Structure 1
Amino acid sequence: MTDKTRKSDSGGRVLRVMKALKGHSLVGLSNGELAKALGESPATINRCVNTLIAEGMAVRLDTGRFALSVAALQIAQAHATEMSRASDRLNELTQRVAAGSY
Protein backbone atom coordinates (compact mmCIF):
# COMPACT_ATOMS: atom_id res chain seq x y z
CA MET A 1 0.00 0.00 0.00
CA THR A 2 1.37 3.41 -0.91
CA ASP A 3 1.03 6.26 1.54
CA LYS A 4 0.24 8.91 -1.10
CA THR A 5 -2.81 7.25 -2.62
CA ARG A 6 -3.74 4.85 0.18
CA LYS A 7 -4.76 2.14 -2.26
CA SER A 8 -4.43 -1.61 -2.11
CA ASP A 9 -2.15 -3.09 -4.76
CA SER A 10 -3.70 -6.53 -4.29
CA GLY A 11 -7.18 -5.06 -4.55
CA GLY A 12 -6.15 -3.35 -7.77
CA ARG A 13 -4.91 -6.65 -9.20
CA VAL A 14 -8.21 -8.35 -8.30
CA LEU A 15 -10.16 -5.57 -10.00
CA ARG A 16 -7.94 -5.74 -13.11
CA VAL A 17 -8.71 -9.47 -13.34
CA MET A 18 -12.41 -8.69 -13.02
CA LYS A 19 -12.16 -6.11 -15.80
CA ALA A 20 -10.25 -8.57 -17.99
CA LEU A 21 -13.13 -11.04 -17.65
CA LYS A 22 -15.51 -8.49 -19.15
CA GLY A 23 -16.89 -9.76 -22.44
CA HIS A 24 -15.96 -13.37 -21.72
CA SER A 25 -19.01 -14.46 -19.73
CA LEU A 26 -19.88 -17.41 -21.95
CA VAL A 27 -16.52 -19.09 -22.63
CA GLY A 28 -14.38 -17.45 -19.95
CA LEU A 29 -10.61 -17.03 -19.89
CA SER A 30 -7.94 -19.41 -18.69
CA ASN A 31 -5.50 -18.63 -15.92
CA GLY A 32 -2.74 -18.41 -18.53
CA GLU A 33 -4.71 -16.05 -20.75
CA LEU A 34 -5.40 -13.77 -17.80
CA ALA A 35 -1.76 -13.89 -16.69
CA LYS A 36 -0.52 -12.99 -20.17
CA ALA A 37 -3.09 -10.24 -20.70
CA LEU A 38 -2.32 -8.61 -17.35
CA GLY A 39 1.40 -9.26 -17.15
CA GLU A 40 1.02 -11.16 -13.89
CA SER A 41 2.16 -14.60 -12.80
CA PRO A 42 -0.31 -17.49 -12.96
CA ALA A 43 -0.02 -17.81 -9.16
CA THR A 44 -1.05 -14.17 -8.72
CA ILE A 45 -3.97 -14.64 -11.11
CA ASN A 46 -5.01 -17.74 -9.19
CA ARG A 47 -5.16 -15.77 -5.91
CA CYS A 48 -7.11 -12.96 -7.59
CA VAL A 49 -9.61 -15.32 -9.19
CA ASN A 50 -10.03 -17.23 -5.93
CA THR A 51 -10.81 -13.92 -4.21
CA LEU A 52 -13.41 -13.08 -6.88
CA ILE A 53 -14.96 -16.54 -6.57
CA ALA A 54 -15.05 -16.32 -2.76
CA GLU A 55 -16.83 -12.97 -3.03
CA GLY A 56 -19.30 -14.29 -5.60
CA MET A 57 -18.04 -12.13 -8.46
CA ALA A 58 -16.54 -14.89 -10.63
CA VAL A 59 -17.04 -18.58 -11.32
CA ARG A 60 -14.92 -21.44 -12.57
CA LEU A 61 -16.64 -22.91 -15.62
CA ASP A 62 -16.81 -26.65 -16.28
CA THR A 63 -13.96 -26.13 -18.75
CA GLY A 64 -11.71 -24.81 -15.97
CA ARG A 65 -11.86 -21.30 -17.41
CA PHE A 66 -13.04 -18.29 -15.41
CA ALA A 67 -15.94 -15.93 -16.07
CA LEU A 68 -17.88 -13.24 -14.30
CA SER A 69 -20.64 -14.63 -12.11
CA VAL A 70 -24.35 -13.98 -12.35
CA ALA A 71 -23.96 -11.66 -9.33
CA ALA A 72 -21.41 -9.53 -11.21
CA LEU A 73 -23.67 -9.45 -14.26
CA GLN A 74 -26.60 -8.43 -12.03
CA ILE A 75 -24.59 -5.41 -10.90
CA ALA A 76 -24.07 -4.43 -14.53
CA GLN A 77 -27.75 -4.97 -15.30
CA ALA A 78 -28.83 -2.90 -12.28
CA HIS A 79 -26.61 -0.05 -13.50
CA ALA A 80 -28.04 -0.28 -17.02
CA THR A 81 -31.58 -0.27 -15.62
CA GLU A 82 -30.81 2.78 -13.47
CA MET A 83 -29.36 4.64 -16.46
CA SER A 84 -32.39 3.74 -18.58
CA ARG A 85 -34.74 5.09 -15.90
CA ALA A 86 -32.70 8.28 -15.64
CA SER A 87 -32.80 8.69 -19.41
CA ASP A 88 -36.57 8.13 -19.46
CA ARG A 89 -37.01 10.70 -16.69
CA LEU A 90 -34.88 13.26 -18.54
CA ASN A 91 -36.81 12.67 -21.76
CA GLU A 92 -40.10 13.14 -19.90
CA LEU A 93 -38.85 16.36 -18.33
CA THR A 94 -37.58 17.63 -21.69
CA GLN A 95 -40.99 16.92 -23.27
CA ARG A 96 -42.77 18.78 -20.46
CA VAL A 97 -40.48 21.77 -20.82
CA ALA A 98 -40.92 21.79 -24.60
CA ALA A 99 -44.71 21.50 -24.28
CA GLY A 100 -44.81 24.44 -21.91
CA SER A 101 -42.71 26.65 -24.15
CA TYR A 102 -45.29 26.97 -26.92
Structure 2
Amino acid sequence: MNDKTRTSDSGGRVLRVFKALRGHSLTGLSNGDLAKALGESPATINRCMNTLIAEGMATKLDTGRFALSIAVLQIAQAHANEMAMAQGRINEINQRVLAGANR
Protein backbone atom coordinates (compact mmCIF):
# COMPACT_ATOMS: atom_id res chain seq x y z
CA MET A 1 0.00 0.00 0.00
CA ASN A 2 1.40 3.42 -0.88
CA ASP A 3 1.16 6.56 1.24
CA LYS A 4 -1.67 8.00 -0.87
CA THR A 5 -4.04 5.16 0.05
CA ARG A 6 -3.41 5.11 3.80
CA THR A 7 -6.44 6.01 5.85
CA SER A 8 -7.31 6.18 9.51
CA ASP A 9 -9.61 3.41 10.71
CA SER A 10 -10.70 5.48 13.70
CA GLY A 11 -11.25 8.53 11.51
CA GLY A 12 -13.39 6.43 9.19
CA ARG A 13 -15.49 5.22 12.12
CA VAL A 14 -16.02 8.78 13.34
CA LEU A 15 -17.09 9.88 9.87
CA ARG A 16 -19.51 6.95 9.52
CA VAL A 17 -21.12 7.98 12.82
CA PHE A 18 -21.22 11.59 11.61
CA LYS A 19 -23.01 10.53 8.41
CA ALA A 20 -25.43 8.31 10.34
CA LEU A 21 -26.64 11.39 12.24
CA ARG A 22 -27.87 12.96 8.98
CA GLY A 23 -31.61 13.51 9.02
CA HIS A 24 -31.87 13.32 12.80
CA SER A 25 -31.11 16.92 13.79
CA LEU A 26 -34.30 17.37 15.80
CA THR A 27 -34.76 14.03 17.54
CA GLY A 28 -31.22 12.65 17.44
CA LEU A 29 -30.16 9.02 17.70
CA SER A 30 -29.26 7.02 20.77
CA ASN A 31 -25.92 5.37 21.29
CA GLY A 32 -27.68 2.02 20.82
CA ASP A 33 -29.35 3.15 17.59
CA LEU A 34 -25.99 4.20 16.18
CA ALA A 35 -24.23 1.03 17.36
CA LYS A 36 -26.88 -1.18 15.76
CA ALA A 37 -27.02 0.79 12.51
CA LEU A 38 -23.23 0.78 12.08
CA GLY A 39 -22.39 -2.62 13.51
CA GLU A 40 -20.14 -1.08 16.14
CA SER A 41 -20.01 -1.50 19.89
CA PRO A 42 -21.66 1.12 22.12
CA ALA A 43 -18.21 1.90 23.56
CA THR A 44 -16.88 2.64 20.06
CA ILE A 45 -19.87 4.86 19.32
CA ASN A 46 -19.28 6.68 22.61
CA ARG A 47 -15.65 7.40 21.66
CA CYS A 48 -16.73 8.60 18.21
CA MET A 49 -19.41 10.84 19.69
CA ASN A 50 -16.95 12.26 22.22
CA THR A 51 -14.66 13.15 19.30
CA LEU A 52 -17.47 14.75 17.30
CA ILE A 53 -18.70 16.71 20.33
CA ALA A 54 -15.17 17.87 21.21
CA GLU A 55 -14.73 19.13 17.63
CA GLY A 56 -18.08 20.93 17.69
CA MET A 57 -19.66 18.70 15.04
CA ALA A 58 -22.26 16.99 17.25
CA THR A 59 -24.19 17.60 20.42
CA LYS A 60 -25.88 15.55 23.10
CA LEU A 61 -29.53 16.48 23.37
CA ASP A 62 -31.40 16.81 26.67
CA THR A 63 -32.92 13.40 25.90
CA GLY A 64 -29.47 11.80 25.92
CA ARG A 65 -29.61 11.24 22.17
CA PHE A 66 -27.02 12.61 19.75
CA ALA A 67 -27.51 15.01 16.84
CA LEU A 68 -25.46 17.10 14.48
CA SER A 69 -24.49 20.45 15.97
CA ILE A 70 -25.53 23.92 14.94
CA ALA A 71 -22.01 24.32 13.51
CA VAL A 72 -22.69 21.54 10.99
CA LEU A 73 -26.00 23.10 10.06
CA GLN A 74 -24.20 26.43 9.59
CA ILE A 75 -21.72 24.75 7.24
CA ALA A 76 -24.60 23.27 5.26
CA GLN A 77 -26.33 26.65 5.10
CA ALA A 78 -23.14 28.37 3.95
CA HIS A 79 -22.84 25.80 1.15
CA ALA A 80 -26.49 26.32 0.14
CA ASN A 81 -25.93 30.10 0.12
CA GLU A 82 -22.84 29.71 -2.06
CA MET A 83 -24.72 27.51 -4.52
CA ALA A 84 -27.61 29.99 -4.67
CA MET A 85 -25.17 32.82 -5.43
CA ALA A 86 -23.53 30.72 -8.14
CA GLN A 87 -26.92 29.91 -9.66
CA GLY A 88 -27.78 33.60 -9.62
CA ARG A 89 -24.57 34.39 -11.47
CA ILE A 90 -25.25 31.62 -14.02
CA ASN A 91 -28.77 32.97 -14.57
CA GLU A 92 -27.39 36.47 -15.10
CA ILE A 93 -24.91 35.22 -17.72
CA ASN A 94 -27.64 33.21 -19.47
CA GLN A 95 -29.84 36.32 -19.62
CA ARG A 96 -26.99 38.30 -21.19
CA VAL A 97 -26.39 35.56 -23.73
CA LEU A 98 -30.08 35.41 -24.62
CA ALA A 99 -30.29 39.21 -24.88
CA GLY A 100 -27.35 39.20 -27.26
CA ALA A 101 -28.91 36.41 -29.35
CA ASN A 102 -32.04 38.49 -29.89
CA ARG A 103 -30.16 41.35 -31.56
Cα-to-partner distance string for 1:41-69 (whole Å, 9 max, x where unaligned): 11110000000000000000000000000
SS of the counterpart of 2:5?
A: coil
User: With structure 1 as the length reference, what TM-score do the two structures score?
Assistant: 0.94
Cα-to-partner distance string for 1:5-62 (whole Å, 9 max, x where unaligned): 1111111111111111011001100000001111111111000000000000000000
Distance 1:82 1:4, change over 3 A: closer
Question: d(CA) in 2 for partners of 1:91 and 1:48?
Answer: 43
Provide structure 1 residue ranges, at least 5 long, that are not aligned to the other structure.
Answer: none
User: With structure 2 as the length reference, what TM-score do the two structures score?
Assistant: 0.93
Deviation at 1:3, TM superposition (A): 5.2
Structure 2 equivalent of residue 12 of structure 1: 12
Question: d(CA) in 2 for partners of 1:48 and 1:3?
Answer: 25
Structure 1 equivalent of residue 63 of structure 2: 63
Alignment RMSD: 1.2
Structure 2 equivalent of residue 76 of structure 1: 76
Code of the residue aligned with 2:50 in structure 1: it is N
Structure 1 equivalent of residue 91 of structure 2: 91
Asked if residue 22 in structure 1 is aligned to residue 5 in structure 2, the reply is no
Code of the residue aligned with 1:58 in structure 2: it is A
Code of the residue aligned with 1:8 in structure 2: it is S
Code of the residue aligned with 2:85 in structure 1: it is R
SS of the counterpart of 1:98?
A: helix
Deviation at 1:72, TM superposition (A): 0.8
Question: d(CA) in 2 for partners of 1:4 and 1:40?
Answer: 27
Provide structure 2 residue ranges, at least 5 long, that are not aligned to the other structure.
Answer: none
Structure 1 equivalent of residue 54 of structure 2: 54
**Percent of residue pairs identical:** 78
SS of the counterpart of 1:10?
A: helix
Aligned length: 101
Structure 2 equivalent of residue 36 of structure 1: 36
Code of the residue aligned with 2:22 in structure 1: it is K
Question: d(CA) in 1 for partners of 2:76 and 2:47?
Answer: 24
